[in-house]
Structure 1
Amino acid sequence: MATVLIVYNACKPEAARRAQETAQWLQAAGYGVVLADQPTASRWSQPPDPNLALVITLGGDGTLLTGAAIAAPAGVPLLGVHMGRFGFIAQVVPDQLIDALQRWQSGDYQVQERLMAQARVEGEVRVSFALNEITLLRTPTAPMLNFTIRVNDLLLTTYPADGSLVATPTGSTAYALSVGAPVVHPQAEVLILAPISPHTLGARPLVLPPNARISIEIRCEATNEPNAQAIMTTDGRRHQTLGMGQIVHITTAPFRTKLLSFNEGEFFEKLRDRLLWGARVNE
């Protein structure tokens, strides 16, 4: 029996209610169902069922990112239901969910394959994955840090800053947007390298090809503080503490997030409606 995983934001009563209603509909349609709140699902390292056919998320983009971490490695499609504040990635609103599931059953949908990034700290085996971005950021008590960037083992630059991030096209409208990186169509195949609060006018975001191998070394040249630390986060969820001199290697992940899509122009609609693209706000 094919199984559907429903991940929901338990802090939103409406999301929990919709999750129960959707589970009942799917069970009546002959599917097995696994229900999980976001904190529970975020702790899983493997899919909860070997016959997983679809992952549904009910909440904001944070809930969807949790679902992507489960769906993408398993090659399973993901349907995001927007029940948050901004919801730039989610594809449908709650009232469209049952119709979307019926279209999924009949094959009347498109799949958007979204590039993901992966990070590994040099000397370690563990690999972290992100649909939006991988961020290296100084801790609140650390002084300004220095980030030495190499691409394909070739030196690019060293800049003093609070941090550095590597974003995917999907992530170009998330944290990367706040640090001045360009908006990139989510189905483009690129990586975006951007400094966070650099103390120089010469450090700017850079768009790189998907086969780029980015290495970022962290040091503290301003004070040579040996105990200074940085934090690596993937999609703002998984955190790892880094010491001075450590190097993080970032590349494209070997799999993609497969988003169910029912509206080819939805990205441009979101640019207009949620980022007010081209709007003259003084009129």
Structure 2
Amino acid sequence: MPASPSGLRFLVAESEPPEAREERRDSVGRSSGETYVAMLNQLAPGATCHRIKPADADGALPFGESLAGYDAVFLSGSPLHLYEETPEVRRSLAFMSATFAAGTPAFGSCAGLQLATVAAGGTVRQNRNGPEAGFARRITPTEAGRSHPLLKGRPAAYDAPSIHTDEVETLPDGAVLLAVNRSTVVQAAEIRHDGGTFWGVQYHPEIGLDEVGGALRRQADGLVEAGLARDRSAIEAQADLVEALHREPDRRDLAWRLGLDDQVTDAAQRQTELRNVIEALVLPTRSRRR
């Protein structure tokens, strides 16, 4: 590791609209941005973490701060659809464009990847194969991904927490596709644009299994409509299993019923990309910038 993680300054940007933010808090006790802050405090003890809401009309940076003054920006998931012309989408895209221009390293999961894609000139669409709900299965690194530091430590195929109804359709010019699966065109990518570097994944290395269960419950009606379950009670039963595994991650019987291995059940392996971002993107960039 080229430098110590102590003293790092992180900016967490959550683009959840206020109603979605509160619904998530009611469901699992924290917003998407609050989940990121908690995770970053765990992975980099002593780091300063500021949280902003760029989709909101009053989602400005803290007083006296600039994007260039942070060591990294982390972008959370969000229910925003990046192909819709709404004030929330426009504000979020403006923030991502400013992050690229500032040259501050950035990482995003789910909608974070989609946001960086569109800001750099790519496109996003509704999932062609329907929602990818609960877990993304058999994610496979591309040839470029097998040697890319974002995916260091990941096996030839792995699962990860995931729930999304949109996907990246086309990556921007010059972007590098790092991972795919049969359900989703882009599962991981590197995007360089306007002087900035972004690493992102469509899945959620930052969340716990309790949050997977909460997401299934919140989106139950849509998942039934998409044909992933016969009725809401089936979604509730699946969420019960996932939440039980969260409480007892060593329960092999639960992992077997859900078809999961330690890439998901072991928290350290689930968080692989976040550690890699800090060690391989943030710290080396910090050394050069200072």
Give the TM-score taking structure 2 as reference length.
0.30
Larger Rg: 1
TM-score (normalised: structure 1) = 0.31
> More strand by proportion, 1 or 2?
1
* Structure with more of its chain in helix, by fraction: 2
